[in-house]
Amino acid sequence: MKPDARTRLTPSAARRRLGEELQKARAVTRLSLNEAAAGIERSAPTLSRLENGKTVPRLVDVRALIAQYRAVATSSVANGAEERILDLAERARHEEWFASFRDVLGGELTSNDARRYVEFEGAATTICAYEPELIPGLLQTEAYAAAITAIFFPERLDEDRRRLVEFRLRRQQILQGDQAVDLHVVIGEAAIRRVVGSSAVMREQLSKLLGIVRDGQPKVTIQIVPLTVAIPAVFGGSFVKMDLMSDEEPGVVYLEGREGSQYVQTDDIVERYQRLFEELVKASLDAEDTAHVLEEAIKRLS
């Protein structure tokens, strides 16, 4: 587990990890799902959902399982493991921040797996993103986000679009505080030149990026890849590569297309996208030149 994993562990990640711990303990006892569930007077489907991280755990059930497994095989829950398991159970009972955005996640303005994305995002320690066409969501101003939402969903009610913008801005809190995620983005120059909303909207958006580059924001790195760069890594569309808290997971690559999105967690593909991102970083402008491009783009909008 990475050093800050316990601090930043999200409820959904805690549920998954709790389930893994309980599965391992039951495997040592050699109890079947039905036998273990009957031992705590629960149904097999209930225990299955708990082991798969699909339900909010009851502390009484977790404690009962620990006691049962230890009674069958002392080694099933080693010394110190009980405290870790109960800590996971406590964390798993907290409500996700996006619970208040059920209307957004269950609506027509987000893809079916938007919830899955923010769960990965919240469980990430490092995020590397390449966006050739737009300013990445984690760095968007409210006005820019509203303009993008209006472009993609012109037929929707103003209230629906407003809620989506609120949701997008709320995601940006992972960049704040002592446990902020490390964010490194490479933005295509086209995204800087394209006027979204209005000149005023773009000036504000580019000024925000310039402020981060010039004055610095802890754990946020922004680079621009010029239009003149033509290497394989710049073609093929945007992607996001996240390193997760668990050392047992290789990370995840998120690919978004016109017909849907895809999550990939196989080692070879995650490593391939890591290499692609490294190639993009090498081909992109450093902080000083990125700042100059942003300043020049802002002047053109004046």
pLDDT score recorded for residue 73: 93
- 150 is in which domain, residue-wise? 101-300
Token digits of residue 264:
């990939």
Whether residues 138 and 75 share a domain: the answer is no
Mean pLDDT computed over every residue of the chain: 89
Amino acid letter, residue 217: Q
Total domains in the chain come to 2
pLDDT score recorded for residue 133: 95
Token digits of residue 176:
């704040």
Whether residues 222 and 276 share a domain: the answer is yes
The mean pLDDT of 244-258, rounded to a whole number, is 76
Whether residues 186 and 48 share a domain: the answer is no
Sheet strand arrangement including 260-264: 220-225, 182-188, 124-131, 239-244, 252-257, 260-264
Per-residue pLDDT for 110 more than 80? Answer: no
pLDDT tier at 116, thresholds 50, 70, 90: confident
Assign residue 218 the CATH number of its domain.
Answer: 3.30.870
Whether residues 145 and 286 share a domain: the answer is yes
Least confident interval from 113-117, 190-194, 284-288: 113-117
pTM: 0.77
Whether residues 154 and 221 share a domain: the answer is yes
pLDDT tier at 13, thresholds 50, 70, 90: confident
pLDDT score recorded for residue 109: 66
Beta strand 220-225 with 182-188 is parallel
132 neighbors 186 (Cβ within 8 angstroms): no
Per-residue pLDDT for 36 more than 90? Answer: yes
Q: How many CB atoms lie within 10 A of CB 253?
A: 23
Q: Token match 């699909």: residue?
A: 54
**Of 74, 92, 110, the domain-final residue:** 92
Whether residues 202 and 296 share a domain: the answer is yes
